[in-house]
Chains A and B, each alone.
Chain A
Amino acid sequence: MANTISDETIEYVGILAKLELSDEEKENAKKDMESMLDYIDKLNELDTTGVEPMSHVFPVQNVFREDVVENGDGSSATLANAPESRDNAFVVPVTVEA
Protein backbone atom coordinates (compact mmCIF):
# COMPACT_ATOMS: atom_id res chain seq x y z
CA MET A 1 0.00 0.00 0.00
CA ALA A 2 1.55 3.18 -1.16
CA ASN A 3 -1.16 5.61 -0.05
CA THR A 4 -1.96 6.36 3.58
CA ILE A 5 -4.99 8.30 4.74
CA SER A 6 -4.40 10.30 7.89
CA ASP A 7 -6.77 10.58 10.84
CA GLU A 8 -7.29 14.26 9.99
CA THR A 9 -8.33 13.42 6.43
CA ILE A 10 -10.88 10.84 7.47
CA GLU A 11 -12.21 13.25 10.09
CA TYR A 12 -12.53 16.03 7.49
CA VAL A 13 -14.22 13.81 4.90
CA GLY A 14 -16.63 12.73 7.63
CA ILE A 15 -17.53 16.36 8.40
CA LEU A 16 -18.07 17.17 4.72
CA ALA A 17 -20.32 14.15 4.25
CA LYS A 18 -22.09 14.79 7.57
CA LEU A 19 -21.17 11.31 8.78
CA GLU A 20 -20.34 10.38 12.34
CA LEU A 21 -18.06 7.35 12.18
CA SER A 22 -17.05 5.03 14.99
CA ASP A 23 -13.32 4.32 15.40
CA GLU A 24 -13.78 0.95 13.76
CA GLU A 25 -15.66 2.49 10.82
CA LYS A 26 -12.93 5.09 10.45
CA GLU A 27 -10.25 2.41 10.21
CA ASN A 28 -12.28 0.51 7.59
CA ALA A 29 -12.96 3.66 5.62
CA LYS A 30 -9.24 4.51 5.67
CA LYS A 31 -8.38 1.09 4.22
CA ASP A 32 -11.05 1.43 1.51
CA MET A 33 -9.86 4.87 0.51
CA GLU A 34 -6.23 3.81 0.49
CA SER A 35 -6.91 0.91 -1.85
CA MET A 36 -8.97 3.22 -4.14
CA LEU A 37 -6.08 5.66 -4.36
CA ASP A 38 -3.67 2.80 -5.07
CA TYR A 39 -5.92 1.74 -7.92
CA ILE A 40 -5.90 5.26 -9.34
CA ASP A 41 -2.08 5.25 -9.12
CA LYS A 42 -2.10 2.04 -11.13
CA LEU A 43 -4.27 3.68 -13.79
CA ASN A 44 -1.94 6.64 -13.85
CA GLU A 45 0.87 4.36 -15.03
CA LEU A 46 -0.82 4.29 -18.45
CA ASP A 47 0.53 6.68 -21.04
CA THR A 48 -2.45 8.82 -22.08
CA THR A 49 -0.65 11.46 -24.10
CA GLY A 50 -2.79 12.48 -27.04
CA VAL A 51 -5.97 10.89 -25.60
CA GLU A 52 -8.96 13.24 -25.24
CA PRO A 53 -10.26 13.27 -21.65
CA MET A 54 -13.56 11.40 -21.51
CA SER A 55 -16.47 13.46 -20.24
CA HIS A 56 -19.02 10.67 -19.88
CA VAL A 57 -19.06 6.88 -19.85
CA PHE A 58 -21.90 6.60 -22.37
CA PRO A 59 -21.25 7.38 -26.02
CA VAL A 60 -24.35 9.58 -26.05
CA GLN A 61 -24.68 13.33 -26.30
CA ASN A 62 -27.31 16.05 -26.57
CA VAL A 63 -30.28 14.55 -24.77
CA PHE A 64 -32.73 17.44 -24.48
CA ARG A 65 -36.29 18.32 -23.54
CA GLU A 66 -38.34 20.95 -25.31
CA ASP A 67 -39.40 23.86 -23.09
CA VAL A 68 -43.01 22.75 -22.54
CA VAL A 69 -44.78 22.54 -19.18
CA GLU A 70 -46.02 18.99 -18.60
CA ASN A 71 -46.13 18.69 -14.82
CA GLY A 72 -49.10 19.92 -12.83
CA ASP A 73 -49.45 20.51 -9.10
CA GLY A 74 -47.00 18.08 -7.52
CA SER A 75 -47.26 19.34 -3.97
CA SER A 76 -49.13 16.46 -2.36
CA ALA A 77 -46.69 13.86 -3.72
CA THR A 78 -43.74 16.09 -2.83
CA LEU A 79 -44.95 16.59 0.73
CA ALA A 80 -46.04 12.95 1.22
CA ASN A 81 -42.70 12.02 2.79
CA ALA A 82 -42.20 15.23 4.76
CA PRO A 83 -41.68 14.41 8.46
CA GLU A 84 -43.41 17.70 9.17
CA SER A 85 -45.19 20.22 6.96
CA ARG A 86 -47.15 23.42 7.35
CA ASP A 87 -48.85 25.73 4.84
CA ASN A 88 -47.83 23.42 1.99
CA ALA A 89 -44.15 23.77 2.97
CA PHE A 90 -41.56 21.48 4.57
CA VAL A 91 -40.78 22.38 8.18
CA VAL A 92 -37.11 22.16 9.18
CA PRO A 93 -35.14 23.45 12.18
CA VAL A 94 -34.49 27.18 11.76
CA THR A 95 -31.49 27.76 9.49
CA VAL A 96 -30.95 31.50 9.75
CA GLU A 97 -27.57 32.55 11.22
CA ALA A 98 -27.67 34.15 14.67
Chain B
Amino acid sequence: MSKQYETVIGLEVHVELATKTKIFCSCSTAFGGAPNTHTCPVCTGMPGSLPVLNKKVVEYAAAVGLATNCTITQNCKFDRKNYFYPDNPQNYQISQLYLPICRNGSVEIETEEGKKTIGIHEIHMEEDAGKLVHDEWEGVSLVDYNRSGVPLIEIVSEPDMRSAEEVIAYLEKLRMLIQYLGASDCKLQEGSMRADVNLSVREVGATEFGTRTEMKNLNSFKAIARAIEGERARQIDLIESGEKVVQETRRWDDTKEYSYAMRSKEDAQDYRYFPEPDLVPIVISDEWLDEIRAAQPEFRDEKKARYQKEYDLPEYDADIITGHKKLADLFEATTALCKKPKKVSNWLMGETMRLMKEQSVEPEDLKFSPGNLAKLIELADAGTINGNVAKEVFEKIFAEDIDPDQYVEEHGLKTVNDEGALRSTIEQVIRDNPQSVDDYHNGKEKAIGFLVGQTMKAMKGKANPAMVNQILKELL
Protein backbone atom coordinates (compact mmCIF):
# COMPACT_ATOMS: atom_id res chain seq x y z
CA MET B 1 0.00 0.00 0.00
CA SER B 2 1.38 3.39 -0.88
CA LYS B 3 2.12 5.90 1.83
CA GLN B 4 0.27 9.17 2.25
CA TYR B 5 2.38 12.32 2.28
CA GLU B 6 1.71 15.78 3.58
CA THR B 7 3.35 18.89 2.10
CA VAL B 8 4.65 21.47 4.57
CA ILE B 9 5.22 24.94 3.16
CA GLY B 10 6.58 28.19 4.52
CA LEU B 11 7.08 31.34 2.46
CA GLU B 12 9.58 34.15 2.34
CA VAL B 13 7.92 37.03 0.55
CA HIS B 14 9.91 40.06 -0.57
CA VAL B 15 7.90 43.21 -1.24
CA GLU B 16 9.31 46.37 -2.80
CA LEU B 17 8.07 49.38 -0.88
CA ALA B 18 6.42 52.26 -2.73
CA THR B 19 8.87 54.94 -1.59
CA LYS B 20 10.11 57.59 -4.01
CA THR B 21 13.71 57.12 -2.92
CA LYS B 22 15.97 54.23 -1.99
CA ILE B 23 16.32 52.97 1.56
CA PHE B 24 19.67 54.60 2.42
CA CYS B 25 20.21 57.35 -0.18
CA SER B 26 18.10 59.90 -2.05
CA CYS B 27 18.37 58.19 -5.44
CA SER B 28 15.07 57.62 -7.25
CA THR B 29 13.38 54.20 -7.20
CA ALA B 30 11.58 54.88 -10.51
CA PHE B 31 11.44 52.03 -12.99
CA GLY B 32 12.83 52.16 -16.48
CA GLY B 33 15.85 54.46 -16.22
CA ALA B 34 18.92 53.67 -18.36
CA PRO B 35 21.37 51.43 -16.43
CA ASN B 36 23.11 53.02 -13.44
CA THR B 37 21.40 56.41 -13.83
CA HIS B 38 19.79 56.08 -10.38
CA THR B 39 23.00 55.50 -8.49
CA CYS B 40 25.30 57.33 -6.10
CA PRO B 41 28.30 56.43 -3.89
CA VAL B 42 25.97 54.99 -1.20
CA CYS B 43 24.00 52.53 -3.32
CA THR B 44 27.12 51.43 -5.21
CA GLY B 45 29.05 50.71 -2.03
CA MET B 46 31.82 53.27 -2.50
CA PRO B 47 34.26 53.30 0.43
CA GLY B 48 33.58 56.11 2.85
CA SER B 49 29.95 56.65 1.89
CA LEU B 50 27.40 56.61 4.69
CA PRO B 51 23.82 55.30 4.56
CA VAL B 52 20.99 57.40 6.04
CA LEU B 53 17.69 55.61 6.63
CA ASN B 54 14.52 56.67 4.76
CA LYS B 55 11.91 57.31 7.48
CA LYS B 56 9.07 56.23 5.20
CA VAL B 57 10.53 52.70 5.03
CA VAL B 58 10.15 52.30 8.80
CA GLU B 59 6.58 53.60 8.61
CA TYR B 60 5.57 51.29 5.78
CA ALA B 61 7.19 48.26 7.44
CA ALA B 62 5.50 48.98 10.77
CA ALA B 63 2.16 49.57 9.01
CA VAL B 64 2.39 46.16 7.29
CA GLY B 65 3.29 44.64 10.67
CA LEU B 66 0.24 46.19 12.33
CA ALA B 67 -2.01 45.01 9.49
CA THR B 68 -0.70 41.45 9.97
CA ASN B 69 -1.16 41.44 13.74
CA CYS B 70 2.57 41.55 14.49
CA THR B 71 4.29 42.85 17.58
CA ILE B 72 6.36 45.87 16.58
CA THR B 73 9.97 45.80 17.82
CA GLN B 74 10.18 49.33 19.22
CA ASN B 75 13.96 49.10 19.60
CA CYS B 76 15.28 47.69 16.38
CA LYS B 77 18.42 47.93 14.28
CA PHE B 78 20.14 46.78 11.12
CA ASP B 79 22.73 44.06 10.54
CA ARG B 80 25.09 43.17 7.72
CA LYS B 81 24.67 39.97 5.77
CA ASN B 82 27.97 39.21 4.05
CA TYR B 83 28.21 37.56 0.65
CA PHE B 84 30.05 38.10 -2.62
CA TYR B 85 28.12 38.47 -5.84
CA PRO B 86 28.33 41.15 -8.53
CA ASP B 87 24.73 42.30 -7.93
CA ASN B 88 25.82 43.39 -4.45
CA PRO B 89 28.38 46.21 -4.73
CA GLN B 90 29.11 46.47 -0.98
CA ASN B 91 29.77 42.72 -0.59
CA TYR B 92 27.13 42.81 2.13
CA GLN B 93 23.41 43.43 2.22
CA ILE B 94 22.06 45.68 4.96
CA SER B 95 19.24 43.66 6.52
CA GLN B 96 17.86 42.80 9.96
CA LEU B 97 18.66 39.55 11.74
CA TYR B 98 18.70 40.08 15.49
CA LEU B 99 15.92 42.63 15.97
CA PRO B 100 13.54 42.57 12.97
CA ILE B 101 10.94 45.35 13.02
CA CYS B 102 7.91 43.00 13.30
CA ARG B 103 7.43 39.58 14.91
CA ASN B 104 4.78 37.03 15.82
CA GLY B 105 1.97 38.03 13.48
CA SER B 106 -0.71 36.16 11.58
CA VAL B 107 -3.23 36.49 8.79
CA GLU B 108 -6.45 34.62 8.23
CA ILE B 109 -6.96 32.93 4.89
CA GLU B 110 -9.97 31.24 3.37
CA THR B 111 -9.92 28.31 0.94
CA GLU B 112 -12.54 25.78 -0.04
CA GLU B 113 -11.59 23.88 3.09
CA GLY B 114 -12.57 26.85 5.24
CA LYS B 115 -10.74 29.44 7.33
CA LYS B 116 -7.21 29.01 8.62
CA THR B 117 -4.66 31.17 10.40
CA ILE B 118 -1.17 31.40 8.93
CA GLY B 119 1.53 32.54 11.34
CA ILE B 120 4.04 35.23 10.45
CA HIS B 121 7.40 34.62 12.05
CA GLU B 122 8.85 38.05 11.31
CA ILE B 123 9.04 40.97 8.90
CA HIS B 124 12.36 42.69 8.37
CA MET B 125 13.58 45.66 6.35
CA GLU B 126 16.43 45.31 3.87
CA GLU B 127 17.84 46.61 0.61
CA ASP B 128 17.41 45.12 -2.84
CA ALA B 129 20.35 44.11 -5.04
CA GLY B 130 21.30 45.25 -8.53
CA LYS B 131 20.29 43.55 -11.73
CA LEU B 132 22.47 41.29 -13.87
CA VAL B 133 21.91 40.71 -17.56
CA HIS B 134 23.84 37.73 -18.86
CA ASP B 135 25.41 37.76 -22.27
CA GLU B 136 26.34 34.12 -22.66
CA TRP B 137 27.58 34.69 -26.18
CA GLU B 138 30.26 37.09 -25.01
CA GLY B 139 30.71 35.30 -21.68
CA VAL B 140 30.00 38.43 -19.64
CA SER B 141 27.32 39.77 -17.31
CA LEU B 142 26.19 43.38 -17.39
CA VAL B 143 25.52 44.99 -14.02
CA ASP B 144 22.94 47.72 -13.42
CA TYR B 145 22.70 49.14 -9.89
CA ASN B 146 19.45 51.10 -10.36
CA ARG B 147 17.62 48.58 -8.13
CA SER B 148 20.49 48.40 -5.64
CA GLY B 149 19.23 49.92 -2.40
CA VAL B 150 15.53 49.88 -3.29
CA PRO B 151 13.70 49.22 0.00
CA LEU B 152 12.24 45.79 0.62
CA ILE B 153 10.42 44.12 3.42
CA GLU B 154 10.80 40.37 3.77
CA ILE B 155 7.78 38.65 5.29
CA VAL B 156 8.69 35.24 6.71
CA SER B 157 5.77 32.94 7.42
CA GLU B 158 5.65 29.97 9.77
CA PRO B 159 5.59 26.57 8.00
CA ASP B 160 1.81 26.57 8.31
CA MET B 161 0.67 25.95 4.73
CA ARG B 162 -0.18 22.50 3.38
CA SER B 163 -1.17 23.07 -0.26
CA ALA B 164 -0.77 25.34 -3.26
CA GLU B 165 -4.30 26.68 -2.65
CA GLU B 166 -3.33 27.80 0.84
CA VAL B 167 -0.12 29.39 -0.46
CA ILE B 168 -2.01 31.37 -3.08
CA ALA B 169 -4.72 32.42 -0.61
CA TYR B 170 -1.97 33.61 1.74
CA LEU B 171 -0.21 35.59 -1.00
CA GLU B 172 -3.49 37.13 -2.16
CA LYS B 173 -4.26 38.15 1.41
CA LEU B 174 -0.83 39.76 1.88
CA ARG B 175 -1.12 41.48 -1.48
CA MET B 176 -4.53 42.91 -0.66
CA LEU B 177 -3.46 44.19 2.78
CA ILE B 178 -0.30 45.79 1.39
CA GLN B 179 -2.11 47.35 -1.56
CA TYR B 180 -4.79 48.75 0.76
CA LEU B 181 -1.95 50.26 2.82
CA GLY B 182 -0.41 51.70 -0.35
CA ALA B 183 2.93 50.26 0.81
CA SER B 184 3.56 48.51 -2.51
CA ASP B 185 1.82 47.68 -5.78
CA CYS B 186 2.77 44.00 -5.26
CA LYS B 187 3.10 43.00 -8.92
CA LEU B 188 4.46 39.46 -9.16
CA GLN B 189 5.28 39.68 -12.85
CA GLU B 190 7.31 42.84 -12.40
CA GLY B 191 9.02 41.57 -9.29
CA SER B 192 7.65 44.08 -6.78
CA MET B 193 6.37 41.00 -4.89
CA ARG B 194 8.53 37.85 -4.93
CA ALA B 195 7.89 34.59 -3.16
CA ASP B 196 10.45 31.96 -2.22
CA VAL B 197 8.87 28.65 -1.29
CA ASN B 198 10.32 26.47 1.48
CA LEU B 199 8.87 23.01 1.07
CA SER B 200 9.26 19.61 2.70
CA VAL B 201 7.15 16.47 2.76
CA ARG B 202 6.46 14.00 5.54
CA GLU B 203 4.25 11.02 6.08
CA VAL B 204 0.78 11.93 7.24
CA GLY B 205 0.74 11.76 11.02
CA ALA B 206 4.50 12.38 11.42
CA THR B 207 5.38 15.06 13.96
CA GLU B 208 8.90 15.90 12.76
CA PHE B 209 9.42 18.02 9.64
CA GLY B 210 11.20 16.50 6.65
CA THR B 211 14.26 18.14 5.06
CA ARG B 212 13.21 21.24 3.18
CA THR B 213 14.36 22.87 -0.02
CA GLU B 214 13.96 26.51 -0.99
CA MET B 215 12.66 27.37 -4.44
CA LYS B 216 13.29 30.69 -6.15
CA ASN B 217 12.32 32.29 -9.45
CA LEU B 218 8.53 32.08 -9.08
CA ASN B 219 6.87 35.00 -10.78
CA SER B 220 3.21 34.13 -11.09
CA PHE B 221 0.57 32.36 -9.03
CA LYS B 222 0.44 29.64 -11.67
CA ALA B 223 4.20 29.10 -11.53
CA ILE B 224 3.99 28.88 -7.74
CA ALA B 225 1.25 26.25 -7.91
CA ARG B 226 3.15 24.19 -10.50
CA ALA B 227 6.43 24.50 -8.58
CA ILE B 228 4.76 23.21 -5.41
CA GLU B 229 3.31 20.20 -7.23
CA GLY B 230 6.60 19.51 -9.03
CA GLU B 231 8.79 19.78 -5.95
CA ARG B 232 6.43 17.71 -3.82
CA ALA B 233 6.56 14.92 -6.44
CA ARG B 234 10.36 15.14 -6.69
CA GLN B 235 10.82 14.83 -2.92
CA ILE B 236 8.36 11.93 -2.62
CA ASP B 237 10.20 10.11 -5.44
CA LEU B 238 13.49 10.52 -3.60
CA ILE B 239 12.04 9.24 -0.33
CA GLU B 240 10.27 6.29 -1.97
CA SER B 241 13.45 5.22 -3.75
CA GLY B 242 15.35 5.30 -0.46
CA GLU B 243 17.31 8.46 -1.21
CA LYS B 244 17.59 11.59 0.91
CA VAL B 245 16.27 15.09 0.26
CA VAL B 246 19.20 17.51 0.38
CA GLN B 247 18.68 20.90 1.99
CA GLU B 248 19.46 23.30 -0.83
CA THR B 249 18.24 26.23 -2.88
CA ARG B 250 16.61 25.27 -6.15
CA ARG B 251 15.60 27.31 -9.13
CA TRP B 252 12.19 26.59 -10.67
CA ASP B 253 12.12 26.35 -14.45
CA ASP B 254 8.49 26.94 -15.31
CA THR B 255 8.80 25.92 -18.96
CA LYS B 256 10.38 22.56 -18.06
CA GLU B 257 8.23 22.26 -14.93
CA TYR B 258 11.21 21.09 -12.89
CA SER B 259 13.44 22.63 -10.23
CA TYR B 260 17.23 22.60 -10.50
CA ALA B 261 19.75 22.85 -7.68
CA MET B 262 21.52 26.22 -7.76
CA ARG B 263 25.16 25.27 -7.44
CA SER B 264 27.73 27.80 -6.49
CA LYS B 265 31.43 27.12 -6.21
CA GLU B 266 31.72 28.10 -2.58
CA ASP B 267 28.28 27.13 -1.36
CA ALA B 268 28.94 27.95 2.27
CA GLN B 269 25.70 29.56 3.45
CA ASP B 270 27.60 31.41 6.14
CA TYR B 271 26.60 35.02 6.05
CA ARG B 272 28.56 36.09 9.16
CA TYR B 273 25.91 38.60 10.19
CA PHE B 274 27.03 41.39 12.47
CA PRO B 275 25.47 44.66 13.65
CA GLU B 276 25.59 47.41 11.02
CA PRO B 277 27.92 50.03 12.49
CA ASP B 278 26.99 52.79 9.98
CA LEU B 279 23.35 53.01 11.08
CA VAL B 280 22.16 54.00 14.53
CA PRO B 281 19.33 52.15 16.31
CA ILE B 282 15.70 52.91 15.57
CA VAL B 283 13.44 53.64 18.49
CA ILE B 284 9.74 53.63 17.65
CA SER B 285 8.07 55.51 20.49
CA ASP B 286 4.52 54.75 21.58
CA GLU B 287 3.47 58.11 20.12
CA TRP B 288 4.99 57.33 16.73
CA LEU B 289 3.41 53.89 16.72
CA ASP B 290 0.04 55.47 17.57
CA GLU B 291 0.44 57.85 14.64
CA ILE B 292 1.17 54.94 12.28
CA ARG B 293 -1.82 53.05 13.68
CA ALA B 294 -4.09 56.09 13.28
CA ALA B 295 -3.03 56.45 9.66
CA GLN B 296 -4.02 52.85 8.80
CA PRO B 297 -6.61 52.88 6.04
CA GLU B 298 -10.01 51.26 6.12
CA PHE B 299 -9.43 47.58 5.29
CA ARG B 300 -11.67 45.29 3.31
CA ASP B 301 -14.08 44.14 6.03
CA GLU B 302 -14.82 47.66 7.25
CA LYS B 303 -15.14 48.93 3.69
CA LYS B 304 -17.51 46.13 2.81
CA ALA B 305 -19.76 46.90 5.77
CA ARG B 306 -19.70 50.61 4.98
CA TYR B 307 -20.61 50.10 1.30
CA GLN B 308 -23.69 48.18 2.33
CA LYS B 309 -24.70 50.76 4.91
CA GLU B 310 -23.67 54.02 3.29
CA TYR B 311 -24.35 53.21 -0.36
CA ASP B 312 -26.98 50.55 0.08
CA LEU B 313 -24.99 48.13 -2.08
CA PRO B 314 -25.97 44.45 -1.99
CA GLU B 315 -23.47 42.31 -0.06
CA TYR B 316 -22.50 40.54 -3.27
CA ASP B 317 -21.49 43.84 -4.92
CA ALA B 318 -19.66 45.10 -1.84
CA ASP B 319 -17.70 41.86 -1.63
CA ILE B 320 -16.52 41.99 -5.23
CA ILE B 321 -15.75 45.71 -5.31
CA THR B 322 -13.69 45.59 -2.10
CA GLY B 323 -11.81 42.51 -3.35
CA HIS B 324 -9.27 44.84 -4.87
CA LYS B 325 -8.07 48.22 -3.66
CA LYS B 326 -8.10 49.66 -7.17
CA LEU B 327 -11.74 48.70 -7.78
CA ALA B 328 -12.74 50.13 -4.41
CA ASP B 329 -10.90 53.38 -5.18
CA LEU B 330 -12.59 53.65 -8.58
CA PHE B 331 -15.96 52.91 -7.04
CA GLU B 332 -15.63 55.58 -4.37
CA ALA B 333 -14.25 58.25 -6.68
CA THR B 334 -16.87 57.65 -9.37
CA THR B 335 -19.73 57.52 -6.86
CA ALA B 336 -18.56 60.79 -5.32
CA LEU B 337 -18.98 62.40 -8.75
CA CYS B 338 -22.23 60.92 -10.02
CA LYS B 339 -23.90 59.90 -6.72
CA LYS B 340 -25.23 56.67 -8.26
CA PRO B 341 -23.47 53.87 -6.33
CA LYS B 342 -25.44 50.94 -7.73
CA LYS B 343 -24.90 52.11 -11.32
CA VAL B 344 -21.17 52.51 -10.68
CA SER B 345 -21.03 49.06 -9.13
CA ASN B 346 -22.85 47.60 -12.14
CA TRP B 347 -20.36 49.11 -14.56
CA LEU B 348 -17.42 47.85 -12.51
CA MET B 349 -18.76 44.35 -11.98
CA GLY B 350 -20.20 44.03 -15.46
CA GLU B 351 -18.41 45.66 -18.37
CA THR B 352 -15.17 46.48 -16.54
CA MET B 353 -14.65 42.93 -15.31
CA ARG B 354 -15.73 41.46 -18.62
CA LEU B 355 -13.11 43.51 -20.48
CA MET B 356 -10.48 42.80 -17.82
CA LYS B 357 -11.02 39.10 -18.27
CA GLU B 358 -11.12 39.31 -22.04
CA GLN B 359 -7.89 41.33 -22.25
CA SER B 360 -6.13 39.84 -19.17
CA VAL B 361 -5.90 43.21 -17.44
CA GLU B 362 -5.07 43.20 -13.71
CA PRO B 363 -7.07 45.61 -11.53
CA GLU B 364 -3.95 47.62 -10.66
CA ASP B 365 -3.44 48.24 -14.37
CA LEU B 366 -6.88 49.81 -14.99
CA LYS B 367 -6.26 53.23 -16.40
CA PHE B 368 -9.61 54.91 -16.96
CA SER B 369 -10.54 57.85 -14.78
CA PRO B 370 -13.52 58.01 -12.42
CA GLY B 371 -14.53 61.28 -14.10
CA ASN B 372 -15.10 59.68 -17.49
CA LEU B 373 -17.03 56.75 -16.07
CA ALA B 374 -19.20 59.19 -14.09
CA LYS B 375 -19.91 61.20 -17.27
CA LEU B 376 -20.87 58.03 -19.12
CA ILE B 377 -23.28 57.05 -16.37
CA GLU B 378 -24.88 60.51 -16.58
CA LEU B 379 -25.22 60.26 -20.36
CA ALA B 380 -26.88 56.86 -20.16
CA ASP B 381 -29.09 57.87 -17.27
CA ALA B 382 -30.35 61.02 -18.97
CA GLY B 383 -31.24 58.94 -22.04
CA THR B 384 -28.77 60.90 -24.15
CA ILE B 385 -27.32 57.59 -25.35
CA ASN B 386 -28.92 54.18 -25.25
CA GLY B 387 -27.57 51.06 -23.53
CA ASN B 388 -25.77 49.59 -26.52
CA VAL B 389 -24.09 52.85 -27.40
CA ALA B 390 -23.05 53.24 -23.74
CA LYS B 391 -21.29 49.86 -23.84
CA GLU B 392 -19.54 50.80 -27.04
CA VAL B 393 -18.36 54.11 -25.56
CA PHE B 394 -17.23 52.36 -22.39
CA GLU B 395 -14.89 50.14 -24.38
CA LYS B 396 -13.21 53.34 -25.57
CA ILE B 397 -13.04 54.68 -22.01
CA PHE B 398 -11.59 51.37 -20.81
CA ALA B 399 -8.92 51.36 -23.50
CA GLU B 400 -8.01 55.02 -23.88
CA ASP B 401 -9.83 56.91 -21.13
CA ILE B 402 -11.60 59.11 -23.67
CA ASP B 403 -14.03 61.88 -22.63
CA PRO B 404 -17.48 60.39 -23.35
CA ASP B 405 -19.24 63.78 -23.80
CA GLN B 406 -16.85 64.75 -26.53
CA TYR B 407 -16.76 61.29 -28.08
CA VAL B 408 -20.55 61.01 -28.29
CA GLU B 409 -20.74 64.48 -29.79
CA GLU B 410 -18.01 63.87 -32.38
CA HIS B 411 -19.36 60.51 -33.47
CA GLY B 412 -23.01 61.57 -33.49
CA LEU B 413 -24.05 58.85 -31.09
CA LYS B 414 -26.84 60.70 -29.31
CA THR B 415 -30.14 58.90 -29.13
CA VAL B 416 -32.66 60.35 -31.53
CA ASN B 417 -35.61 61.51 -29.48
CA ASP B 418 -37.18 63.32 -32.38
CA GLU B 419 -40.56 61.59 -32.61
CA GLY B 420 -41.36 62.82 -36.11
CA ALA B 421 -38.15 61.43 -37.62
CA LEU B 422 -38.59 58.17 -35.77
CA ARG B 423 -42.22 57.83 -36.81
CA SER B 424 -41.42 58.24 -40.50
CA THR B 425 -38.55 55.71 -40.27
CA ILE B 426 -40.90 53.18 -38.66
CA GLU B 427 -43.56 53.78 -41.29
CA GLN B 428 -40.94 52.99 -43.93
CA VAL B 429 -39.84 49.81 -42.07
CA ILE B 430 -43.48 48.64 -41.92
CA ARG B 431 -43.93 49.21 -45.66
CA ASP B 432 -40.69 47.32 -46.43
CA ASN B 433 -41.54 44.27 -44.30
CA PRO B 434 -45.16 43.23 -44.99
CA GLN B 435 -44.43 39.60 -44.09
CA SER B 436 -43.33 40.48 -40.53
CA VAL B 437 -46.35 42.74 -40.15
CA ASP B 438 -48.61 39.83 -41.18
CA ASP B 439 -46.79 37.49 -38.81
CA TYR B 440 -47.35 39.95 -35.99
CA HIS B 441 -51.05 40.20 -36.72
CA ASN B 442 -51.23 36.40 -36.82
CA GLY B 443 -50.04 36.28 -33.22
CA LYS B 444 -46.31 35.89 -33.72
CA GLU B 445 -45.19 38.30 -30.98
CA LYS B 446 -41.56 37.70 -31.92
CA ALA B 447 -42.00 39.42 -35.25
CA ILE B 448 -41.99 42.77 -33.48
CA GLY B 449 -38.38 42.09 -32.39
CA PHE B 450 -37.36 41.92 -36.03
CA LEU B 451 -39.09 45.21 -36.80
CA VAL B 452 -37.40 46.89 -33.81
CA GLY B 453 -34.08 45.59 -35.10
CA GLN B 454 -34.73 46.98 -38.59
CA THR B 455 -35.67 50.34 -37.15
CA MET B 456 -32.52 50.47 -34.99
CA LYS B 457 -30.46 49.60 -38.03
CA ALA B 458 -32.07 52.36 -40.06
CA MET B 459 -31.43 54.78 -37.16
CA LYS B 460 -27.78 53.59 -36.86
CA GLY B 461 -28.42 52.30 -33.34
CA LYS B 462 -29.22 55.70 -31.95
CA ALA B 463 -32.95 55.42 -31.39
CA ASN B 464 -34.53 55.34 -27.98
CA PRO B 465 -35.66 51.68 -27.68
CA ALA B 466 -38.70 52.43 -25.49
CA MET B 467 -39.93 55.00 -28.00
CA VAL B 468 -39.40 52.61 -30.92
CA ASN B 469 -41.51 49.96 -29.19
CA GLN B 470 -44.26 52.35 -28.36
CA ILE B 471 -44.55 53.85 -31.86
CA LEU B 472 -44.34 50.45 -33.54
CA LYS B 473 -47.18 49.01 -31.49
CA GLU B 474 -49.24 52.07 -32.14
CA LEU B 475 -48.74 51.93 -35.92
CA LEU B 476 -49.36 48.18 -36.13
Q: Which residues of A contact B (CB under 8 A)?
A: 12, 15-16, 18, 55-58, 60-71, 73-75, 77-79, 86-97
Contacts and interface: CB of A to CB of B under 8 A. Distances in A.
B52 interface: yes
Contact of A66 (B55, B145, B275, B277): B55
Given A86-B142, A88-B36, A92-B86, A69 B27 contact: yes
B136 A94 contact: yes
A73 B26 contact: no
B53 A63 contact: yes
A88 B20 contact: no
10 contacts: A55-B77, A55-B281, A56-B280, A64-B54, A66-B54, A71-B28, A71-B40, A74-B27, A77-B41, A96-B136
Contacts, number: 140
B416 to A, nearest CB: 54
Contacts of A74: 27, 36-40
B198 interface: no
A68 B28 CA distance: 8
Main secondary structure of the interface of B (DSSP, over half): loop
Interface size class of B (residues with CB under 8 A): 35 or more
**Lowest 6 A-B CB distances belong to which pairs?**
A70-B26, A64-B55, A89-B142, A90-B143, A67-B56, A75-B36
B225 interface: no
Interface of B: 19-21, 25-28, 34-41, 44, 52-56, 58, 75, 77, 82, 84-86, 99, 132-136, 139-145, 262-264, 266, 268, 270, 272, 275, 277, 279-283
B55 A67 contact: yes
A65 B151 CA distance: 13
Contacts of B53: 63-65
A56 B75 CA distance: 12
B134 A75 contact: no
Contacts of A89: 35-36, 133, 142-144
A75 B142 CA distance: 14
Contacts of B36: 74-75, 78-79, 88-90
Contacts of A91: 140-143
A54 to B, nearest CB: 9
